[in-house]
Structure 1
Amino acid sequence: MATEIKAPTFPESVAEGSVAAWHKQPGDSVERDELIVEIETDKVVLEVVAPEAGTLSEIKAQEGDTVQSEQILGVLGAGAAKSGAANKAKPKAEAVSENKSEATANKPAAGNKPAVAGKTYEVKAPTFPESIQEGTVATWHKQVGEAVKRDEVLADIETDKVVLEVVAPADGALTEIKVEEGSQVESEAILATFAEGAGGDAAADEAQPAVEAKAEEGGDEKIGDRILAPAARKLVAEHNLDVNKIEGTGKGGRILKEDVQRAFESGSAKKSANKPAAAPQAAVAAAPAIEGERPEKRVPMSRLRQTIAKRLVQAQQTAAMLTTYNEVDMGAVMEMRAQYKETFQKAHDIKLGFMGFFVKAASEALKRFPDVNASIDGADIVYHGYQDIGVAVSTDRGLVVPVLRDTDSMKIADVEKSIVDFGKRARDGKLGIDEMQGGTFTITNGGIFGSLMSTPILNPPQTAILGMHKIQDRPMAVNGKVEIRPMMYLALSYDHRMIDGKDAVQFLVTIKELLEDPARLLLDI
């Protein structure tokens, strides 16, 4: 049965791509997930892999051709071994059998797949987008000799924008790690070697008691009758949680990283008193702290933190940055939120927060003041006919700014859902590079950490950024009387090269008016 090979689904900001290189030709046999063709877009190079094993029977888009999202590129025929390929099967099997160790050859479980047992792979770093030059090996989740399953995470590569996962190409085990944690690597650099079939069923059976006893070892861990994914196991150990109180949403009740984070944030999995997993590390760290001594700890700055530092300094050095302030009475928004929050949650399965109102108010204000929605490119001014608003999200690794696209056409429920999704995936390091590029304006909310007033720094090449702060009751003069009102300070930092002070002040006043009378958002006035 023939299988269509399609181009990937392009991000919204990418209209089309071009076929950069075919790695297989008609008649070539391919394995499942083997690289077939590369598609080059204006931002990244996307890899297209074989959806299943077979033979490439037809190429429909030649190298250099322009293709659209999910366009058919070629056809994969069923059966990897045809005619001439069948004649080569025997020598290939003989070559493979020569590479097998005696232990692997004598293992009963290997008898089902003699043609592939012992096959070795080079584990490579992912293909980095053009905007990323190199990455750092952040964590090895597996060690040499540990049994792993196909597509299980072997290592994390941290770049200045995202964390990329390197997964196992098949069932087997690592035979050699060539790049240690903390080392810098380039795109497609060889990280390790991997042997298919190594660390199989027998090894897994022998390792089972040790896995239950050691939380620091990789692979799926079984604690009692609960099975934990590697990342979940690490979080459980770090936070000293009770796995019996964590609901697993993975296959067969497997506890995933997201399940642990959800349980930890909700407080439903209290720390266990009889399993102080984090205590040994704390004891080691505290040991040198003898009275009278002044201990220090030196750690390398993460790539993301280096990039943040570079961009913040660049913004202050290259822009004529100025900040204007105002304050908004949040009473109307809070009353609307209190009145409809339960109905809203039932209708949209998401809580009604404040950010949705600010995003919609900013979208309307950006339409009225196009200079604030513009950017500077060298000696040119680029006016954007759309509103793509970045929302700053704080993570353990640093601040990231995923972008909401076409916010003018989004509903408040869509905004709230997207922000919750961004926050979750940002903490997991799952945000894509395309999701953090191309914004025309940014909103940052220091109020969630208790900030009363601050001066946000521009996010180049944007020319303005809005800072939200905590809502605090203050005495205000209302119709000649003193009333206690829930007030929030707003700060708008802007590039004075592009935006005049009058426009910046009026832009901020527009946001204030829209928030103090939310009906304006519906009436477009």
Structure 2
Amino acid sequence: MGTKEFKLPDVGEGVAEGELVNWLVEVGDTVTEDMPVAEVETDKALVEVPSPYNGTVKELLAEEGQMVPVGDVIITFDVPGEDDEESETEETATAADATAEPAGDDEAATAAEAEPAGAEAGAEAESGDDEAETPSGRVFAPPNVRRLARELGVDIASVDGSGPSGRITEGDVRTAAEADESDTAETADDAPEPRSVSVGDGESSVSKRTTDGETATTVESAARDRTLAAPATRRVAEEEGVDLNAVPATEQRDGEGFVTAEAVREYAEAQRQARQAEVEAASATTDASGVSADAEAGGAASAESGAEAPEMTAEGPVERVPYRGVRRTIGKQMEQSKYTAPHVTHHDTVVIDDLVEFRAETKELASERDVKLTYMPFVLKAIVTALKEYPELNATLDESDPDDAEILLKQYYNVGIAVATDAGLMVPVVRNVDEKSVFELAREIDDLASRARDRKVTREEMQGGTFSVTNFGAIGGEYATPIINYPETAILGLGAIEQRPVVQDGEVTAAYTLPLSLSIDHRVIDGAVAGRFTNRVMELLQNPKLLLLE
């Protein structure tokens, strides 16, 4: 085997470093070219890093959570190649010199010795670690399909692709997984009963409370040194604080125990129940120092689960969370915007009874066309119409030459939609809003928002915006002072759409209203212009049928 180093590539334009979020492989795993080996987060994108080789993982040189500069070696592979051939040639020549046998006999002996190894390698290939045999020697499947196969425990090399040119789709992988489950169910009845093992050193026992209140104990042999499991299962084990090698294996693959996510959860729950039973049994006792036994048991439980005790300060306990990745990127962007552009926020409220009624009338038609119709497409259409009349809000202040700065009035309309995700705020961009219908915008907004929450939106899809919208009303807010997505010059915040008391024709009535919060860069936009822009947006939202004329 020849050793190959793999350096962290530039996973985004101009990126200097990335956080290695998750390894998708372990030492000893067989990988194929283009197979994802790690997840790396940089700027606001989470990307999969594929292997450039066919081979075996030799060493992982970075820890999960570590910031790695672009160009640093993060992993090495053992790759079959010229080194193998040279090594075999040298060994053959050495053996020939030592025994003084004819070269032909020695080659025959070498071939005989190599045959079992070749057979063994063939068996490993059949086990699913190698690629499917295609003319090019590669499996045709995109990274998301490969990830799904790993999570479902499917050998992607054995899956027949139904896509163009034999490309494997998610449907193909799910079908294969269902077939595997069916085969497992058919053979389950013939499986031998689990044998009973006494608990001893190095053995793991799991207590599980049954429905009748009694406690049953499942005992597995000594903890394994290595366990096969999908990356998603390993993440579940980390979240539950469980040693994956101690979880009873649900099946065997290649002679190694294979564990599913469900097995990990059951094991973790059984451990929690067992610890709780111990705490309850000892809760009445207290040692001479006045420390209760249940507190001791609780401390032991924390140690077993791998949870770290909080750091103690003079004021009290604290937890340290690394400030990096998406959160750090958001912070730097907000800092630059707030300290560069003088912010002014204009607040107003628009009555949208007609828009609420119009959307309700249109939702059935949208549903027939498989469109999830929200208020956002109507808001975007109103914004773009107003931007065409007040272009200062669709601009950038170019300060590349401080002595000769310019305002760039953009004549294209790409609106960023702020999406709250588990990792922080992401702003995918809907491009050319002025050229799309309400239904087209609805589909695109739903797609971008869904992929942003799943961390599947690309870096390019979060660039090129000219104006932004943030919907804090989704969590019940009314007004805010949103920070401009610099170097844009304005951002519109939307409050919650609710029935509120308003005065109409001299009487107080209940009406659906939408609170608006428009933040502007006061270097470029005057307050009067911001007010006129907001009035135009309000006019269009009050009369939604006008949007159909745009």
Q: Normalising by the residue count of structure 2, what TM-score does the alignment of the two structures yield?
A: 0.60
The structural deviation recorded for 1:318 is: 1.3
State which of 523, 529, 541 in structure 2 corresponds to 1:497: 523
Q: Which 5+ residue runs of structure 2 have no aligned equivalent?
A: 81-116, 130-149, 155-176, 183-227, 241-260, 273-300, 400-404
- Go from structure 1 to structure 2 and tell me whether the alpha carbon gap of 1:226 and 1:508 turns closer, same or farther (over 3 Å shift): farther
- State how 1:180-329 maps to structure 2 within 5 Å: 180-196=63-79, 202=123, 221=153, 225-226=180-181, 230=230, 232-233=232-233, 274=266, 276=268, 284=305, 288=309, 294-329=316-351
Q: For residues 129-176 of structure 1, what are the alpha-carbon distances to aligned partners after superposition, in whole Å with 9 as ceiling and x for unaligned?
A: 443221121211211112345433211111122122112334542101
Aligned to 2:40: 157
**In the aligned structure 1, how far is the partner of 2:414 from the partner of 2:531?**
21
Query: Structure 2 vs 1, CA of residues 412 and 272 (structure 1 numbering), >3 Å: closer, same or farther?
Result: farther
Deviations 1:180-236 (A, max 9, x none): 22333233432111124799665689999xxxxxxxxx8763799459994554576
The Cα shift of 1:239 comes to 8.8
Q: Does 1:352 align with 2:235?
A: no
- Residue number in structure 2 paired with 1:387: 413
Return the alpha-carbon distance in structure 2 between the equivalents of residues 277 and 511 of structure 1. 54
Report if the CA contact (8 A) 1:369-1:507 is conserved.
Answer: yes
Could you say what secondary structure the match of 2:394 adopts?
coil
**1:175–1:193 contact (8 Å) kept in structure 2:** yes
How far 1:278 sits from its partner (Å)?
11
Rounded Cα–Cα distance in structure 2 between residues aligned with 1:278 and 1:239: 15
Q: CA RMSD in A?
A: 3.7
Contact 1:149 1:168 in 2 (8 A): yes
Structure 2 vs 1, CA of residues 343 and 147 (structure 1 numbering), >3 Å: closer, same or farther?
same
CA change 1:219–1:488 in 2 (3 A) is closer
The answer for the alignment partner of 2:21 in structure 1 is 138
Q: Which of the residues 159, 162, 177 maps onto 2:60?
A: 177
Q: Secondary structure at the match of 2:391?
A: coil
CA distance in 2, matches of 1:270, 1:402: 34
Deviation by residue 1:266-313 (Cα, 9 ceiling, x = unmatched): xxx9999846479879873768489x9954321211222112111111
Residue 191 and residue 287 in structure 1: after superposition, are their counterparts in 2 closer, same or farther (change >3 A)?
closer
> Secondary structure, in 3 states, of the residue corresponding to 1:372?
helix
Q: 1:331 to 1:230 in 2, by over 3 A?
A: farther
Distance 1:271 1:334, change over 3 A: farther
Corresponding residue to 1:430 among 432, 445, 456 = 456
Alignment counterpart, residue 49 of structure 2, candidates 166, 177, 191: 166
- For 1:193, the aligned partner's letter is T
Distance in 2 of aligned mates of 1:428 and 1:361: 29
Superposition pairs of residues 3-152 of structure 1, within 5 angstroms: 99=1, 120-152=3-35
Instruction: Check 1:188–1:410 CA distance in 2 against 1; reply closer, same or farther (3 A cut).
Output: farther
How many residues are treated as equivalent by the alignment?
369
Within 1, Cα distance between the matches of 2:22 and 2:519?
38
Q: Deviations over 1:415-437 (max 9, x none)?
A: 12222221222233222222111
In the alignment, structure 1 residue 411 sits paired with structure 2 residue 437? yes
Aligned twin of 1:340? 362
The letter of the residue matching 1:507 is F
2:426/2:452 contact within 8 Å kept: yes
Instruction: State the secondary structure of the residue aligned to 2:519.
Output: strand
For the residue of structure 1 that corresponds to 2:448, the secondary structure is helix
Which residue does the alignment assign to 2:486? 460
Q: Which residue of 2 aligns with 1:376?
A: 397
Q: Secondary structure of the equivalent of 1:371?
A: helix
Q: Please say if residues 445 and 468 of structure 1, whose CA atoms lie closer than 8 Å, have aligned partners that are also in contact.
A: yes
Residue aligning to 1:512 = 538
Give the direction of change, closer, same or farther, for the CA distance of 1:201–1:306 in structure 2 (3 Å limit). farther
- Secondary structure at 2:348 match in 1: strand
2:427 maps to what in 1?
401
Q: Structure 1 vs Structure 2: percent identity of aligned residues?
A: 38
CA contact (8 A) 2:468 2:490 kept: yes
CA distance in 2, matches of 1:296, 1:434: 38
Cα distance in 2, alignment partners of residues 279 and 355 from structure 1: 47
- Distance in structure 2 (CA, Å) of the matches to 1:361 and 1:369: 12
C-alpha distance in 2, partners of 1:155/1:353? 36
1:459 is matched by which residue type in structure 2? Answer: N
Letter in 1 for 2:10: T
Which residue of structure 1 aligns with residue 475 of structure 2?
449
The equivalent of 2:499 in structure 1 is 473
Deviates more, 1:221-230 or 1:396-405: 221-230
Q: Which runs of 5+ in 1 are unaligned?
A: 1-98, 100-118, 209-217, 241-268
Counterpart-to-counterpart distance in 2, 1:270 and 1:328: 50
- Assess if the C-alpha contact under 8 Å between 1:136 and 1:183 holds in 2: yes
Q: Which has the larger Rg?
A: 2
Change (3 A) 1:233 1:204: farther
- In the superposition, relative to structure 1, how do residues 187 and 273 fare at CA in structure 2: closer, same or farther (>3 Å)? closer
Moved more, 315-324 or 421-430: 421-430
Q: Distance in 2 between matches of 1:132 and 1:147?
A: 29
Shift of 1:351: 0.9
Aligned equivalents of 1:285, 1:294: Cα separation in 2? 22
In structure 1, what residue type is equivalent to 2:153? Answer: E
Q: 2: distance between equivalents of 1:315 and 1:122?
A: 40
CA contact (8 A) 1:141 1:219 kept: no
Contact 1:127 1:187 in 2 (8 A): yes
1:111-136 Cα shifts (integer Å, max 9, x gaps):
xxxxxxxx543323222444322112
> 1:430 is matched by which residue type in structure 2?
K
Q: Report the AA paired with residue 495 of structure 2.
A: H
Indicate if the aligned counterparts of 2:10 and 2:16 stay in contact, CA closer than 8 A.
no
d(CA) in 2 for partners of 1:509, 1:271? 58
- Equivalence for 1:41: none
Match of residue 145 from structure 2: none
Per the alignment, in what secondary structure is the counterpart of residue 191 of structure 1? Answer: strand
1:478 maps to amino acid: Q
Return 145-154 or 475-484, whichever deviates more.
Answer: 145-154
Change in CA separation of 1:188 and 1:279 when aligned onto 2, cut-off 3 Å: farther
Residues 360 and 408, structure 1, Cα contact 8 Å, conserved in 2 = yes
Match of 1:46 in 2: none
Question: Residues of 2 paired with 1:412 and 1:279: CA distance?
Answer: 53
Cα 1:480–1:239 change in 2 (3 A) is farther
Aligned counterparts of 1:369 and 1:146: Cα–Cα separation in 2: 59
Instruction: Answer yes or no: is the 8 Å Cα contact 1:146–1:174 preserved in 2.
Output: yes
